Chains A and B, each alone.
Chain A
Amino acid sequence: MAFDRIEFFRICMDIEKYLGYLRANELALEYYDTLNREPIPMAELYQEHFVSLRDWKTPCPDEKFSITAQFGPRVWVPFDATQSELDTIDEQVRTNLTTAYENGIGWADGMALDMNETCQQFSHPDTASMAKSVRDMMTNVVEELELGAKDAWTDIGKYVGMWRGEAATAFFNFHTNYNDALSLFAHMGVQLGAGFAGATAVIHGTQETAMKFVESVREALEGMLWLWTEVGLQQPPEPSLDIDVGKILKIADGVWSLLQLIPPVAAATKGVNTAVQGIKTVNSIVQAAGGGGEVDIHPEPYAFTDWTANGLYTKIFDVLYEEIYQKYVEAMDDLHVGGGPANPEDADAVPFSSKAVEQHMLELQGPRNEWELEPVSPGNLNGGDNKVPYGDL
């Protein structure tokens, strides 16, 4: 399924919201514990009083995650406290618990935006449409170029060889090199397809990894909040669950094993079979991104040891930044500089890298310029001093 960045952002918003609820629970509990830990001011004059929380619950915007307290906290009150004083202090404690809770609600505000920013470089591209462009380029550019290169496009070639002069020479050179140029571009088109396909597959795999990750974080947070509602205003047990995180570099390895099948650019192998094999390989690299099956994200359990809001916040960003964003950058860089084993003895066997493709083009554009076709101008091909008579044609 294609990555839906709006859905991704919604899940980040849920995580932000849930983490706020979690922090709110923690702060309410912290305040509750503070009251209980308060030392008696003067033992002979004070007595303990248990605040009633019977009608109190945390004002969670999401009703189902509101929590109640089984026992009210203990406060110290003067032995002669009146009922009205006790009522007042009960009311204050309830208000303060609510305040402590509400301080936490907004704690994670802006987190979804930060998560989105961490993922911005891979969450925006539409990999399904990239995959389609790659496949269409193989069909409508590379295959077409291969076909055209086989055809003679005019039967006046014989005359072109006879005419002399500047215009005739340019035409002759253009005509002579035309098929080779088309073959070269078919070959380079396969390389282009390989580069774009590799990038598409890495972005797609990264998107899937990020989506699975935030989904499982949201699920874990929901589970945490449920635990809080079950135990009341006290520290719930830690959930015993693993959060799986995909391995971007292993996804990239899968791309690499296919890129190995792309003929090295320096070999500049011509012929239909090379392009056909290349096209097939390029198409299989973008298969998952194009909707043809699931990508294996190689999920591995990631140790979440600190289940507090702060601990979870830290881990969420560690995973997004170090395990996903930075690995994405690394995998993309590998596609550029080449991640496969290079054989220095055989330049033709250098495995795919977009840098090598670019350098090969720059070499072709060098002094001998095997890249450009000589331009033809619309002039008389039989001009100049040595005109070929009509009868000789």
Chain B
Amino acid sequence: MQSPLERMYHAAKVDIPAEAAYLQRITNNLRGYLSDFDVASAEAGEPAVMTSMLHVGGDMLAVLRRAVTSLDNAADAVLITANDYRDTDDRARQDYQDLDQSLKSSPVPDHPTQSLPEPEKPGAELPAPPPGGPYPPGPIPTEPPRMDPNEDPPDPEDQREERGDGSENQPEVPEIDRPEWEDD
């Protein structure tokens, strides 16, 4: 039969930290996937289906991160409460002395999580464009040039007009000159 103090110590040092570690793992995993999708979304020109999902995911991540912090705080709170009982109640003090040494001395661990502020907004860092300007040197490039996916592609109609049809510079027909044969 556990004493109330042992229950509290166990909750503060084992159960709640285990839950925090579990939720921390989920939270950091989620952060990693959202970060992947943030980059993919930037590469795909920030389509609404991606940015709205990133909005939901980002808000979900924020709540989960705060929940991990709350669990850490809860462990601290339970320990503070237990120690308050120990310091003010004789039976609690006795129960404290009966606790396992390891339970008494083990620390209450923290569970840090990583943030990902506003993934729904553009600005995910994309891989660097290839060196040497947008058009790579040499006949067969090893890397296609990187365009800005947030700009809509140009209308092909405009490109067509710019190009012309290539027959503007046809050479002249050569002649053998006989000026004296010119018509009168």
Contacts and interface: CB of A to CB of B under 8 A. Distances in A.
A296 to B, nearest CB: 21
A325 B47 CA distance: 13
Interface residues of A, number: 116
Interface in A106-133: 107-108, 113-114, 116-126, 129-130, 133
B174 A30 contact: no
Nearest to B66: A375
Contacts of B59: 361, 365, 371
Interface in B10-59: 10-11, 15-16, 18-19, 22-23, 25-26, 29-30, 33, 36-37, 40, 43-45, 47-50, 52-53, 55-57, 59
Of listed A9, A118, A124, residue having the most chain B CB within 10 A: A124
Point out which of B36, B159, B174 has the most chain A C-beta atoms below 10 A from its C-beta: B174
B77 A379 contact: yes
Contact of B170 (A100, A119, A195, A198): A100
Contacts of A119: 153
B174 A124 contact: no
Contacts of A45: 178, 181
Contact of A321 (B43, B66, B156): B156
A214 interface: no
A66 interface: no
> Which of A6, A120, A325: most chain B Cβ within 10 A?
A120
Contact of B19 (A154, A196, A361): A154
A261 to B, nearest CB: 18
B33 to A, nearest CB: 4
A390 B145 CA distance: 71
Interface stretch (A219-227, A274-282, A352-360): A352-360
B16 A78 contact: no
Contact of B63 (A126, A133, A185, A196): A185
A93 B37 CA distance: 61
Contacts of B174: 75, 89, 92-93, 96
Interface stretch (A230-238, A328-336, A341-349): A328-336
Interface string B144-171: 1111110001111001100101110111
A258 interface: no
Contacts of B148: 120
Nearest to A374: B70
B51 to A, nearest CB: 9
Given A89-B176, A354-B48, A378 B149 contact: no
B74 A358 contact: no
29 contacts: A9-B144, A27-B166, A27-B167, A34-B170, A95-B171, A96-B171, A114-B159, A116-B145, A148-B19, A154-B16, A174-B70, A185-B63, A192-B53, A198-B49, A199-B50, A317-B159, A321-B155, A332-B44, A336-B47, A354-B48, A354-B52, A355-B52, A357-B56, A372-B63, A374-B70, A382-B81, A390-B85, A390-B91, A393-B4
Interface of B: 4-5, 7-8, 10-11, 15-16, 18-19, 22-23, 25-26, 29-30, 33, 36-37, 40, 43-45, 47-50, 52-53, 55-57, 59-60, 63-64, 66-67, 69-74, 76-78, 80-81, 84-85, 89, 91-92, 134-135, 139-149, 153-156, 159-160, 163, 165-167, 169-176, 178, 181
CB-CB nearest 7 A-B residue pairs: A9-B144, A317-B156, A378-B76, A153-B19, A124-B43, A96-B171, A121-B45
